[in-house]
Chain A
């Protein structure tokens, strides 16, 4: 096959030609994969061929080796590994050869493909000569090939995990890379490629960073590179410093003074991309110290892996003035550009992180700046002062901040409505929001808001909601936190007198012509939700009045016919906001009997609307509508049965949505809600639901986070339908057993441990529901054959010692449920288990109330099972 022409056609502007070309490439790939890959690699390596076809050939090759979706990726890896080894050798030879091509696009593409192949083969101990052959040439090659080789090493380090490459080779890679970076390298492209390669290779340098001499050398070369005349090298070098700051924080002490000098110079003098990286270095140090201080409470405790070196605290007197200077470098209209990121924004963000790191110490350094600038005629100064104020509101103690806030509040409120500059108003609204977020609420002792200023605050915020979209959006945000602060206020909220006005204003905002800008409509609905969530009994009648209003809004979204795809997306987004709002209202009104009683007269209509929202889409279900239905099912109880005939197909559709796994997870949760609401009435739908859930469990395309909730859902269903669950018992139990075995396999990182615990919890909740569901039925004997396995599972969890409190509580509860349901026939088994002795005793003496409670229950149930 003449692949060049096809590849050219595949980039044709003529759609038909393109489609045909893509079709024939696909056929080629399906009919003869090795031949296909070979001809692509040949094309890439061939200096005679046009650059576009070489690039595309490389790209298709890369896509034949890797994919984003895990299952697809796995499939591609298996396919490559099973390929004929001759073909593979030829392909790899072509790739390596391309690295010395004079055409830079071809080299660069080959670098990436080589890294992908290495990513597959090195973990399998294949292609052992790769790194050696790359390194052997690096010193002899012409500059362009050297650049490509370094770039390949960089990509390779990105693809391959450090444990796959032995230390000897790591040392060689680092040596080659650091040499390429050093000032003695005259070729800019080589030096840039080496610097970028180091960024990826840093993860491999654990051993080297533990060696003082090697570390000193690497650090020196990196710092020197920050002074290169080439801006891209300086930027890449600072990127390395940022990465080092998080990966090797504990090794930085000897260099921090020098780094401060380098970064300060870059921040003040260098071009913006470099300056941004220099600021990011300090933001990253803040991230590290915040984490360390949070985890260890600031003490050098015995179990502390990494001590805090208090770099930020030491740098404070120089760092803060530098950051404040940056605040004055705002761009016009940066608030209107969603993607904007500039030195002023980075400086303010870093200042906020510094405040979180050092707390009170930052206040005296920033207050003079605020005082000096906040009333200046230049908007930049007023904005910078306000931004500085807003940035330090999280971190320092309320005692330190509240006097400042009290002194500034009136000024800020007036600025929000009266400052002539929109940028200043935007930042003022944001700062007010931060005040409400961090200094207002039941946790703060001396309230900033009093009967006296409440009226003024609300009036100013509502007025501000009529401002430009970006300002109005921040005002909504401020109101959100104002409402949240009164969440636990008791029967009477200071916001009650303004409730109606606030709701009305928010609804007005949602109808603004320009509500689509700056996320304004979303912010207005989110704020409305929070206002409803935090409302009290006093305003329940007003929340009830909101129901038909939101229903009407939702109804209106259903009217449009023949929408363009853009309009359809907007419709769907608006429906999401409205369903979200209804969900919050349902949950609020459903939580107290009198309001629920009145609310329920809307239930039929609301459900009708949700069903119509579902009908707007053909293939997927609306996640927000699904969430809202869960809340409705909970509020409705057994009467929900009447909606099931119509709703069921959407439920099934949601369970089948593997792609948007959030939707699938939400739907699984709703199945639980419906089980509890319907109880036996769910039986007619159980066949379908259980079949789908079992299918989901066995699929490797479904995101794994959905699987634990599916098991919990088994428990919900079993508890709801009781002995009727017999029909599914065998299937469910075998799925549970398989998962139980998986969940006990070998340790892993924290993330894996967390997943295993969530899996265990799901499995245990399933067992719990099944045992309790069968209780007092004549069929409990059906469960006896499973008892040994369940007890073994419990013992296993206990022995492994890595369960969290939730698992502990659920596990010991299952022991009780088993004893309770099976009674004396299981007595001997129970008595033989470790769980009934050591595990139970440990739980009985637990500090955790919930664990103790479950353990008491288990003890009671066991004593009965044994005594009968």
Chain B
């Protein structure tokens, strides 16, 4: 038996660089795998949270989507061509587009005043700008517009939003914020929060989400002025209880941003993707430059225009769930123009206007104009058509809103709401 070798490593590092490279590769792969899983799960929770399936739209139609006439986003389609959709959130092509198109909670237009406005609702002034989803994950932050196209790709102080020295940019966490990007001061105004640091807030009430948003956003440093690791400032919009003073503050108060109408959030509503009557938008000339829809040239057409979807049986419907029927299209036009079901079509509302029976649409005097802009993904919603119609004929005024708050059945105890907003109500324990 030979003596045993007892040499120890001398003046040598214990680990070789090759081994280090191998280990770093494995680490990266494990991280990528985790992200892929995470995304699959995220996709799941959002798809599952839809109340009912939404009709598929042609992918090429969703490149550009006009949420409403106030947003001029025509240029954004080009961006999405270059920057690959996977990068931010690792979803697959058409899935990603569909996903983003369906992720935002979309307000209905306020066509009548909801009950218990002062007790159950918040109000705030909507910043003018591009509505987008801001996703921070894996050390980077991406903002995407409703159509899935990327607005910015940048480092931010949001959790996992930048590659920083403390390693918080790891793949374990991510955030999803619902924002409006305000060009003038290059600020993301956060209007809602969907996920924070890996915690899903989909199933939380607006009350809790706003509380969470206010405390966490400030804490993260995302509200700080821009810096190398934090390219854009984030700011939470001031949210008021929708009592008289709150509504008045939102309507007339000086905000750091240009206003584009008021948004009303039902306090008990979960974050529900797609159109919801639990979030409402309302505008008048005093709080928005864009009350009446404009055409693609930015001019107000003499007649109100609507976009409706053609169905199999020639029916013309809105994008609501369930769809609202506006009429039927003449078979001749369908044949002549080579239309088929699923097409989005543009109509003018002629002099006959809209007529209602028992609060329901009975008849619409429609005049076919042609196919909608290729970029449109959805038909108009019923509430939007109606709001636009009312704006042109008998608008819902701020006084009507104030009056409803002051009505006798709406006056009982609204004093403790501000406290509730600041202190997480104890019954909210979903996180």
Taking Cβ atoms with an 8 Å cutoff, the residues of A that contact B are 151, 154-155, 196, 199-200, 235-236, 239, 242, 273, 276-277, 280, 283, 339-341, 345-346, 348-349, 426-427, 430, 442, 474, 477, 488-491, 522, 525-526, 529-530, 537, 576, 580, 583-584, 587, 591-593, 624, 627, 630-631, 634, 637-638, 662, 666, 669, 672-673, 676, 679-680, 712, 715-716, 719, 765, 768-769, 772-773, 775-776, 813, 816-817, 820, 849-850, 853, 856-857, 860-861, 864
User: Which residue of A242, A587, A592, A716 contacts B36 across the interface (Cβ within 8 Å)?
Assistant: A716
Q: Is there an interface contact between B41 and A679, defined as CB atoms closer than 8 Å?
A: no
Cβ–Cβ contact B33 & A593, under 8 A: no
Q: Is B1 an interface residue (CB 8 A)?
A: yes
* Residue B48 CB within 8 A of the other chain: yes
A857 to B40, alpha carbons, bound, how many Å?
12
Q: Which A residues touch B153, using CB under 8 A?
A: 593
Residues of B within 8 A of A680 (CB): 92
**Could you name 27 residue pairs across A and B whose Cβ atoms are closer than 8 Å?**
A155-B1, A196-B1, A235-B3, A242-B6, A273-B3, A339-B7, A340-B10, A346-B6, A488-B165, A525-B17, A526-B17, A587-B28, A630-B25, A631-B25, A631-B28, A638-B86, A662-B22, A666-B22, A669-B29, A679-B92, A680-B92, A775-B40, A813-B37, A820-B44, A849-B198, A853-B172, A857-B41
Q: Are the C-beta atoms of A772 and B41 separated by less than 8 Å?
A: yes
Is B40 touching A719 in the complex (CB atoms < 8 A)?
A: yes
Closest Cβ of chain B to A369, distance in Å, is 19
Cα A476 to Cα B13 with chains together (Å): 12
Give min CB distance, A482 to chain B, whole Å.
Answer: 14
Residues on B with beta carbons closer than 8 Å to the beta carbon of A593:
83, 87, 140, 153
Asked if B8 CB lies within 8 Å of chain A CBs, one says yes
Q: CB of B414 within 8 A of chain A?
A: no
Partner of B29, one of A426, A584, A630, A817: A630
B21 within 8 A of A: yes
Tell me, yes or no, whether B300 is within 8 Å of chain A by CB.
no
Alpha-carbon distance between A599 and B84 when the two chains are bound, in angstroms: 15
How long is the Cα–Cα vector from A235 to B4 in the complex, in angstroms?
10
Given contacts A491-B228, A673-B29, A768-B37, contact A530 B17 (CB under 8 A): yes
Instruction: Considering the complex, give the chain A residue whose CB is closest to the CB of B48.
Output: A864
Identify the closest chain A residue to B10 (Cβ): A345
Q: How far is the CB of B289 from chain A (nearest CB, A)?
A: 34
> Are B4 and A239 in contact, CB atoms less than 8 angstroms apart?
yes
Cβ-defined partner of B28 (8 Å) among A283, A576, A634, A816: A634
Rounded to whole angstroms, the CA-CA distance of A154 and B2 in the bound complex is 12
B window 349-407: CB within 8 A of A: none
Tell which of A235, A525, A526, A712 touches B33, judged by Cβ atoms closer than 8 Å.
Answer: A712
Known: A474-B11, A593-B140, A772-B37. A580 touches B17 (CB 8 A): yes
Let me know if B172 and A489 touch, CB within 8 A: no
B136-177 vs A, CB cutoff 8 Å, 1 = contact: the mask equals: 000110000000000001000000000111000000100000
Contact with A along B286-316 (1 / 0, CB 8 A): 0000000000000000000000000000000
Distance between Cα atoms of A580 and B8 in the complex (Å): 27
Inter-chain contacts of B11 with A (CB < 8 A): 426-427, 430, 474
Tell me if A442 and B40 are in contact (CB < 8 A).
Answer: no
Given contacts A242-B6, A676-B32, contact A637 B40 (CB under 8 A): no
Q: Taking chain A's interface residues, is the majority helix, strand, or loop, or is none over half, making it mixed?
A: helix
Q: A529-B17, A583-B21 are in contact. Are A341 and B198 (CB under 8 A)?
A: no
Given the interface pairs A239-B4, A861-B44, the reply to whether A477 lies near B163 with Cβ below 8 Å is no
Considering only residues 83-108 of chain B, those with a C-beta below 8 Å from chain A are 83-84, 86-87, 90, 92
How many Å lie between the Cα of A235 and that of B172 in the bound state?
A: 55
In whole Å, how far is B17's beta carbon from the nearest beta carbon of chain A?
4
Distance A348 CA – B10 CA, assembled complex (angstroms) = 9
Within 199-233 of B, Cβ neighbours of A (below 8 Å) are at 199-200, 203, 228-229
Instruction: Give the CA-CA distance A576 to B8 in the complex, in Å.
Output: 26
Complex CA gap A339/B33 in Å reads: 43
Tell whether B26 is near chain A: CB-to-CB under 8 Å.
yes
Which of A239, A345, A631, A856 is B199 in contact with, Cβ under 8 Å? A856
Closest to A339 in B: B7
Q: A592-B140, A624-B18, A820-B44 are in contact. List 20 more A-B contacts (CB 8 A).
A: A196-B1, A235-B3, A283-B8, A346-B6, A348-B10, A430-B11, A490-B164, A593-B87, A637-B86, A637-B87, A676-B32, A676-B36, A719-B37, A775-B44, A776-B47, A816-B41, A853-B198, A856-B200, A857-B41, A857-B200
B423 within 8 Å of A by Cβ?
no
Asked whether, in the complex, the Cβ of B6 is within 8 Å of the Cβ of A280, the reply is yes
Chain A positions within 8 Å of B18 at CB level: 576, 580, 624
The interface of chain B, by Cβ under 8 A from chain A, is: 1, 3-4, 6-8, 10-11, 13, 16-18, 21-22, 24-26, 28-29, 32-33, 36-37, 40-41, 44-45, 47-48, 83-84, 86-87, 90, 92, 139-140, 153, 163-165, 172, 198-200, 203, 228-229
* In the complex, chain B residues whose CB is within 8 Å of the CB of A426: 11
Give the residues in chain B near A719, CB-CB below 8 Å.
Answer: 36-37, 40
Q: Give Cα A769–Cα B17 distance, bound, in whole angstroms.
A: 32
Question: In the complex, what residues of B have CB within 8 A of residue A634's CB?
Answer: 28, 32
Q: Contacts A813-B37, A864-B48 known; A587 to B6 CB distance under 8 Å?
A: no
Residues of chain B within 8 A (CB-CB) of A151 are 1
Nearest to B198 among chain A residues (CB) is A853
Given contacts A489-B165, A638-B86, contact A277 B6 (CB under 8 A): yes
A327 → B minimal CB distance (Å): 13
A242: which B residues are within 8 A, CB to CB?
Answer: 6
A345 CB contacts on chain B under 8 angstroms: 10
* Docked-complex contact A529 and B21, CB < 8 angstroms: yes
**Chain A nearest Cβ from B402, distance in angstroms:** 41
Given contacts A850-B172, A856-B199, contact A236 B3 (CB under 8 A): yes
- Give the interface centre of B16, B22, B47, B228 by most chain A CB atoms within 10 Å: B22
Instruction: Name which residue of chain A comes closest to B25, CB basis.
Output: A627
Contact B17 A341 (CB under 8 A): no
In this complex, the member of B17, B48, B198 whose beta carbon has the largest number of chain A beta carbons within 10 angstroms is B17
Task: Check if B25 sits within 8 Å of A239, measured CB to CB.
Answer: no
Minimum CB–CB distance for B65 against chain A, Å: 23
B32 touches A673 (CB 8 A): yes
- Chain A's closest residue to B2 (CB) is A196
A627–B48 touching, CB < 8 Å? no
Chain A residue nearest to B154 (CB atoms) is: A593
CB distance from B174 to the nearest CB of A (A): 10
Q: How far is the CA of A703 from the CA of B384 in the complex (A)?
A: 65
List the A side residues contacting B45 at CB < 8 Å. Answer: 857, 860-861
Are B7's CB and A341's CB within 8 A? yes
Residues of B within 8 A of A537 (CB): 228
> In this complex, which of B1, B18, B87, B139 has the most chain A Cβ atoms within 10 angstroms of its Cβ?
B1
Shortest Cβ distance from residue A671 to the other chain B in the assembled complex, whole angstroms: 10
A489 neighbours in B (Cβ, 8 Å): 165
Give bound CA distance, A861 to B163, whole Å: 31
Contact indicator B13/A477 (Cβ below 8 Å): yes
A817 and B41 form a contact (CB under 8 A): yes
| A276 CA / B10 CA spacing, docked (Å) | 14
Q: Specify which chain A residues have a CB less than 8 angstroms from the CB of B47 in the assembled complex.
A: 776
Inter-chain CA distance A583–B23, complex, in Å, is 13
Q: Tell me which of B10, B24, B32, B198 contacts A349 (CB under 8 A).
A: B10
- Bound state CA distance, A537 and B229, in angstroms? 11
Which residues on A sit within 8 Å (CB–CB) of B10?
340-341, 345, 348-349
Across-interface contacts of B140 in A (CB, < 8 A): 592-593
A817–B40 alpha-carbon span in the complex (Å): 9
A711 to B235, CA, bound (A): 45
CB distance from B33 to the nearest CB of A (A): 6
Q: How far is the CA of A352 from the CA of B287 in the complex (A)?
A: 74
Given contacts A341-B10, A489-B165, A627-B21, contact A765 B33 (CB under 8 A): yes
Closest CB-CB distance, B200 to chain A, in whole Å? 7
A389–B170 Cα distance when bound, in Å, is 38
A591 to chain B, nearest CB (A): 7
A151-B1, A627-B21 known; A820-B163 Cβ under 8 A: no
